[in-house]
Amino acid sequence: MRTKCHKIERLASDYIDGTLSEGQTAVVASHIRSCQPCQREVADVKKTRHLLRNFYVEPDASDAYYAQFTTQLQQRIEQSAPTALHQRFAAVATRLGWQLLTQMYRYTDHFRPSRFISIKRHALPYYVLALAMTLLIAAPFFLTQVSLHDNGEHVRLPSVTAQPAVTPATEQDMTMAHLIGIRRNMNSERTTETPTVDSGSDVWKFTDEPMVDGYIFAKFRKDSSDAVPNIALGIDSELLAYAQFPAQGAIWARLPSRDVLTEGRYALLLLRGINTGQHALQQYERKRSESKGFSQISEKLLDVPLEMLSVAAVYDPIEL
């Protein structure tokens, strides 16, 4: 009962002001009918309000004072008005500026954000804080994007051309031929010659054109349904990554520093000469056996100097 009386006491002020909801009003009315102390409480609040409204002497000043005030105010405004020529000019310019701004404000007022979003002024600091935190969190992402685009000096595709020799009869034939090509390249010896990447009936190779140091930005694919040949890009003694090549919509870009390989989906790799050394292949095999998926390879690639990257061999994604 005490708890309820305490609640009623807090509501009494709003009750006599008539600012309670219908439900609350009914609860208070019903309670005070049966509770003498609360009845007195409400009656006291009513009496207090009555005393305030009927006996409080609102201050006022004499008419003479108001007349004097109006004159003083007018004088003060006139005194603050500019007198010198340059001041008048500045005042006119300011006024015109304000009028222009006012007109613009009126015109754009219809589209002001507050028509659509209600923000209480006292909550504004919290909105500002939330915005600052969002920017803080999003900044690294945007900076990465900007550096990718700004520093991405597009270079021509480094000497990789497709030379279709024979069109495969079926997709299955091509896949089989591709696998054969893989085996052959895996068993090849270390050589400084330009390797030929054989994907069955299509012959993909690095041409004899001067090699331009660059980076392959290739999209990884986990599924092997696509018959487009793939290459494995290896890193001497450390790591290999697998990239589809050339991928549809692949982007060629140059970055000034080491890269940028995120979550196994995209790789930005350096092509600096071609090295299919046996050691690299062995390392690749070891890493491949250790790694069960693209994500793990990709994560490790982040720690590898780009200068150590080299083209290793051709592998089918299924094997990875």
* Pick 98 or 142: Cβ nearer another protein: 98
Helix, strand, coil percent content, the chain, rounded in steps of 5: 50, 15, 35
* Pick 95 or 156: Cβ nearer another protein: 95
Instruction: Give the footprint of another protein on this chain (CB under 8 A).
Output: 10, 13-14, 19, 44-45, 47-53, 55-62, 65-66, 69-70, 72-74, 76-77, 80, 95, 98-99, 101-102, 105, 109, 120-122
* Pick 36 or 289: Cβ nearer another protein: 36
Q: How far is the CB of 37 from another protein (least distance, A)?
A: 14
Q: How far is the CB of 302 from another protein (least distance, A)?
A: 50
Read out DSSP for 145-177?
Answer: HHHHHHH-------SEEEEE-S--SSHHHHHHH
Q: Which residues pair with 196 in a beta bridge?
A: 205
* Pick 105 or 142: Cβ nearer another protein: 105
* Pick 74 or 192: Cβ nearer another protein: 74
* Pick 11 or 182: Cβ nearer another protein: 11
Q: Which amino acid is at 157?
A: L
Task: Write down the residue that tokens 């990709």 correspond to.
Answer: 298
Map residue 257 onto helix, strand or coil. coil
Radius of gyration of the chain from its Cα atoms, rounded to whole angstroms: 40
Q: How far is the CB of 35 from another protein (least distance, A)?
A: 18
Q: How far is the CB of 105 from another protein (least distance, A)?
A: 8
Structure tokens at 285: 């095999």
Q: Cα–Cα distance between 296 and 231 in angstroms, integer? A: 18
Q: How far is the CB of 84 from another protein (least distance, A)?
A: 19
Nearest to 314 by CA among 162, 224, 198: 198
Q: Cα–Cα distance between 28 and 107 in angstroms, integer? A: 49
Q: How far is the CB of 89 from another protein (least distance, A)?
A: 15
**Which one-letter DSSP state was computed for residue 119?**
-
Bin 264: left if φ > 0, else alpha if -120 < ψ < 50, else beta.
Answer: left
